[in-house]
Amino acid sequence: MSGPSDYQPSNPALQWIERRLPILGLVHSSFVVYPTPRNLNYWWTFGAILSFMLGMQILTGVILAMHYTPHADLAFKSVELLVRDVNYGWLLRNMHACGASMFFFAVYVHMLRGLYYGSYKEPREVLWILGVIIYLLMMATGFMGYVLPWGQMSFWGATVITNLFSAIPYVGESIVTLLWGGYSVGNPTLNRFFSLHYLLPFLIAGVVVLHVWALHVAGQNNPDGVEPKTEKDTVPFTPHATIKDGFGVACFLLLYAWFIFYMPNYLGDADNFIPANPGVTPPHIVPEWYYLPFYAILRSIPNKLAGVIGMFSAIIILCFLPWLDAAKTKSSKYRPLAKQFFWIFVAVCILLGYLGAQPPEGIYVIAGRVLTVCYFAYFLIVLPLLSRIETPRPVPNSISEAILAKSSKAVASIAVALVAAGALFVGTLQDARAEEGGPKPPGNSWSFAGPFGKYDRGALQRGLKVYKEVCSNCHSLSFIAFRNLGDDGGPGYSVAQVAAFASDYKIKDGPNDQGDMFERPGRAADYFPSPFPNEQAARAANGGAAPPDLSLITKARSYGRGFPLFLVDFFSQYQEQGPDYVAAVLQGFEDKVPEGVTIPEGSYYNKFFPGHAIKMPKPLSDGQVTYDDGSPATVAQYAKDVTTFLMWTAEPHMEARKRLGFQVFIFLIIFAGLMYFTKKKVWADSH
Amino acid sequence: MNPDASTIAAGAPIEVDLTPVAEGQDIKVFWRGKPIYISHRTKKQIDEARAVPVASLPDPQSDEARVKAGHDQWLVVIGICTHLGCIPIAHEGNYDGFFCPCHGSQYDSSGRIRQGPAPANLPVPPYQFVSDTKIQIG
């Protein structure tokens, strides 16, 4: 993108186009012959990874939008049904939802890389500021995207974040009304967020073009921070950088696929599987992990307006970085003090992220204040001061000289950086749910756990029987149709069995030609009917507590795993908090209330229920349901079977997900290996 | 992008019958998509709200100014925490009033902020008594 290209295509048709629109020359000069410093390390592949992720998010997002209904009453349901009924809908949703997290993970690595190697310094100030703008747009897009599924955390996250703007004096309230389109977060809010969530990624793509343009004018920075001087310092972009980026993307895909296929809900919040309810606030409103450090800054400042200003300035301050850090030496490799402070800063960010997920009380508040001061001190005191007092180590004269002097120390620093980046990623995932006291649900050996987990067909069929004979008296199962009972990976009934099962139910239909509603036997396409006509009726019949719908209950309930178990879970693929909790509650009833615990009238004592006072009476007792296959008719067996069944209702495509995941992993490992050896071959003469 | 006509029309005043609300009880009604708490306060709650010196409050306002004269037992407030918009829980916290589970703000039996990050008292919506047992909100 620098100056007219002398590229001449050999094909006459392309020559004809090139004379009128030199687009091939543009591509050729920007992505083929473009000189790239030959000492770039793998941290420089994150630019390509980010471009890839942006494309991925736009592609999956456009397809998801074809199946999504932006209406307060229908949004939650449309997301659930697209996961269940659309071909590979579960894959699209996982790719998009985990993709957002991966996008932010990559952008944080990319930003920290820029910070470490001084990529914001002259002549790259505009390039850096464009990057900060992209980051701000990403935050807005991510936030609005999180609102769209219209679960509890979506709704309350939207309420908390839009209320931030009410802190602005004089115009704050009007801004909030404009965001809401009403008197509170509601349907108009959802509609405008959907529209903006569709628009902003294309704005991001536009700014990315400017970002790349600015990059190709100023040239890439490099780990040694010395500008390329001779041709010996650079290699052509293609094939050198393209193949290296390709290998970087392939490795990144391995991490991405780990989430998509094996840990899709690890980064999410169980509360978001509960439909939005303006009348009930979740006990802890926690943003997505990538906002947590800024959320911690917001909360640690006791004044509302000052908190909001603090949070936004934590991001805006990045724009001024090129002038706050006046040191001539770019790379922290040659700045012994700056290097140490950089790692302290990374630790501060990780800890702020951790605090952002904790309840705002006691020691957490004080720690949050200290770390907020540290965060700003890094930019406002440490960096300006260092550029005056630090004596940098001598910088090599040229890139080729730096390569010759390359020591093995770099490998160690990369390893440290990798570990730190990994910790930044998982360190912020701590579940904020308060420990409500009482024992944690005991673990179970579920047949569906692990990378090759499958549902036990017998358990699914027995669980369906328990649901039908016991649970369905109070609990609905509204996202499940009778036809699902015959689906692959489900209880495995035949078409005839499903039809017979459905015809036992009376389904309300109509109106008929006379205008009356009538009842008819169920068909395979009908959904399980609800025991109560509406939520109010359910509430009135059950002592004020409406029995929740069970379709998603095993994903909508969870419990805090605590440090360090949640780190282990990432590697062991433990995803069964929900089923463990449900099975524990079903077996946790005790007639004798322990001393010192008072249970209100009309409630029952349950060991595992948060707060211990549950409105549901003990639902299961030995011998209550007769099993045809000789399984023991005990509460433990019932609980296990019905929980397995409810896990299937929450994740009907789990078997397909894990099966495809295995195939994808085999492919990706081979692909990454091939990319690696190709890369080695291409770079063989360049080192 | 301001609220459209149907949203504004749906935000018209509503009438609430207070007869079923016993002393010490409170109900939550929705108006303009916002939860409104109507508390039938006990004598103890009223006395507590009036005993505290007004000047010592973070957002000084007397209890008398927050209720309608002659209907001192009725407290009507918008149940949206003035911090970041969560819904406080009635009859919880240290002040016999409201407790916000999100960031720990505590309001007293007059809906005034006493402790926590919220900057202001729970707002009183526009309302009037149309009879002794019925109010109109809006």
Instruction: Convert the pLDDT of each residue in A194-222 to its tens digit.
Output: 999 999 999 999 999 999 999 999 999 99
Residues in B touching A188 (Cβ below 8 Å): 3-4, 7
A-interface mutation test, from B31, B34, B84, most A Cβ less than 10 A away: B84
Query: Which phi and psi (to 5°) does residue A568 adopt?
Result: -60, -40
* Tokens, residue A480: 């499940």
pLDDT (0 to 100) of residue A560: 80
Question: Which three-class secondary structure state does DSSP give residue A508?
Answer: strand
pLDDT (0 to 100) of residue A431: 43
Closest CA to A636 of A442, A474, A461: A442
pLDDT (0 to 100) of residue A614: 85
The alpha-carbon gap from B126 to the nearest alpha carbon of chain A, in Å, equals 14
Q: Are A393 and A407 in contact (CB under 8 A)?
A: no
* Tokens, residue A673: 């290996």
Q: How far apart are CA A153 and CA A431, in angstroms?
A: 14
Determine whether the interchain pair A360/B7 forms a contact, defined as Cβ–Cβ distance below 8 Å.
no
pLDDT (0 to 100) of residue B90: 84
The alpha-carbon gap from A76 to the nearest alpha carbon of chain B, in Å, equals 19
Check CB contact of A436 with chain B, cutoff 8 Å.
no
Q: How far apart are CA A286 and CA A268, in angstroms?
A: 10
Query: For residue A529, what is the DSSP state?
Result: P
Interface of B with A (CB under 8 A): 1-4, 7, 11, 28, 30, 32-35, 83-87, 100-104, 117-119
Ramachandran class of A611: left when φ > 0, alpha when ψ lies in -120 to 50, beta otherwise: left
Buried b (16+ CB within 10 A) or exposed e, A403-413: beeeeeeeeeb
Buried b (16+ CB within 10 A) or exposed e, A420-448: bbeebbbbbbbbebeeeebebbeebebbb
Q: How far apart are CA A465 and CA A638, in angstroms?
A: 10
Closest CA to B118 of B94, B99, B95: B99
Contacts of A602 (CB under 8 A, 6+ apart): A543, A615
Residues in A touching B35 (Cβ below 8 Å): 278-279
Q: How far apart are CA A181 and CA A158, in angstroms?
A: 13
Determine whether the interchain pair B87/A360 forms a contact, defined as Cβ–Cβ distance below 8 Å.
no
pLDDT (0 to 100) of residue A409: 54
Q: How far apart are CA A321 and CA B124, in angstroms?
A: 46
Closest CA to B75 of B93, B60, B91, B87: B91
Question: Which three-class secondary structure state does DSSP give residue A664?
Answer: helix
Determine whether the interchain pair B3/A181 forms a contact, defined as Cβ–Cβ distance below 8 Å.
yes
Check CB contact of A172 with chain B, cutoff 8 Å.
no
Tell me how far CA of residue A325 lies from CA of A111, A116, A135, A222, A555, in angstroms.
15, 12, 20, 18, 47
Determine whether the interchain pair B86/A159 forms a contact, defined as Cβ–Cβ distance below 8 Å.
yes
Q: How far apart are CA A139 and CA A289, in angstroms?
A: 12
Helix, strand, coil percentages, rounded to 5, for chain B: 15, 30, 55
Q: How far apart are CA B20 and CA B43, in angstroms?
A: 18
Determine whether the interchain pair A183/B101 forms a contact, defined as Cβ–Cβ distance below 8 Å.
no
Q: How far apart are CA B131 and CA B135, in angstroms?
A: 7
Closest CA to A530 of A495, A505, A504, A497: A505
Determine whether the interchain pair A163/B85 forms a contact, defined as Cβ–Cβ distance below 8 Å.
yes
B-interface mutation test, from A161, A177, A184, most B Cβ less than 10 A away: A184
Continuous H helices in A165-241: 172-180, 187-218
pLDDT (0 to 100) of residue A4: 52
* Tokens, residue A92: 């699209």
Residues in B touching A160 (Cβ below 8 Å): 84-86, 102
Residue B106 bridge partners (DSSP): B99, B115
Q: How far apart are CA B6 and CA A180, in angstroms?
A: 14
Mean pLDDT, contiguous 10-residue spans, chain B (138 residues): 85 88 86 88 88 88 88 90 83 82 82 85 91 88
Question: Which three-class secondary structure state does DSSP give residue A407?
Answer: coil
The alpha-carbon gap from A180 to the nearest alpha carbon of chain B, in Å, equals 8
- Cα dihedral sign for B70, B98, A304, A170? negative
Continuous H helices in A120-169: 125-147, 152-164
Cα A310 to chain centroid, rounded: 25
Continuous H helices in A274-327: 292-300, 304-316, 321-324
Note which residues in 444-473 of chain A have CB less than 8 A from chain B. Answer: none
Residues in A touching B117 (Cβ below 8 Å): 299, 302, 304, 307, 360
**Burial degree of A44 (CB within 10 A; 0-12, 13-18, 19+):** buried
CB–CB contacts below 8 A, A to B: 75
Quick one: which H or E segment has residue B113? Answer: strand B113-115
Q: How far apart are CA A144 and CA A189, in angstroms?
A: 10
pLDDT (0 to 100) of residue A5: 60
For A360, the closest of B2, B34, B103 (CB atoms) is: B103
| C-alpha atoms less than 13 angstroms from C-alpha of A482 in its C-beta half-sphere | 23
pLDDT (0 to 100) of residue A139: 96
**Catalytic site positions of B:** 103
Determine whether the interchain pair A181/B4 forms a contact, defined as Cβ–Cβ distance below 8 Å.
yes
Q: Are A433 and A284 in contact (CB under 8 A)?
A: yes
Q: How far apart are CA A511 and CA A313, in angstroms?
A: 59
Q: What is the pLDDT of residues A349-390, one digit of tens each?
A: 999 999 988 877 778 889 999 999 999 999 999 999 999 999
pLDDT (0 to 100) of residue A435: 42
Q: How far apart are CA A183 and CA A188, in angstroms?
A: 10
Ramachandran class of A236: left when φ > 0, alpha when ψ lies in -120 to 50, beta otherwise: beta
Query: Which phi and psi (to 5°) does residue A94 adopt?
Result: -60, -40
Low-confidence ranges of chain A (pLDDT < 70): 1-5, 406-438, 687
Contacts of A597 (CB under 8 A, 6+ apart): A605, A612
Cα angle A195, A198, A202; round to 5: 130
Determine whether the interchain pair A184/B103 forms a contact, defined as Cβ–Cβ distance below 8 Å.
no
Residues in B touching A180 (Cβ below 8 Å): 3
Closest CA to A547 of A531, A526, A528: A531
Check CB contact of A278 with chain B, cutoff 8 Å.
yes
Q: How far apart are CA A532 and CA A484, in angstroms?
A: 22
Note the ipTM here. Answer: 0.73
Query: For residue A527, what is the DSSP state?
Result: B
Residue carrying the six token digits 């949203």: B7
Radius of gyration of chain B from its Cα atoms, rounded to whole angstroms: 15
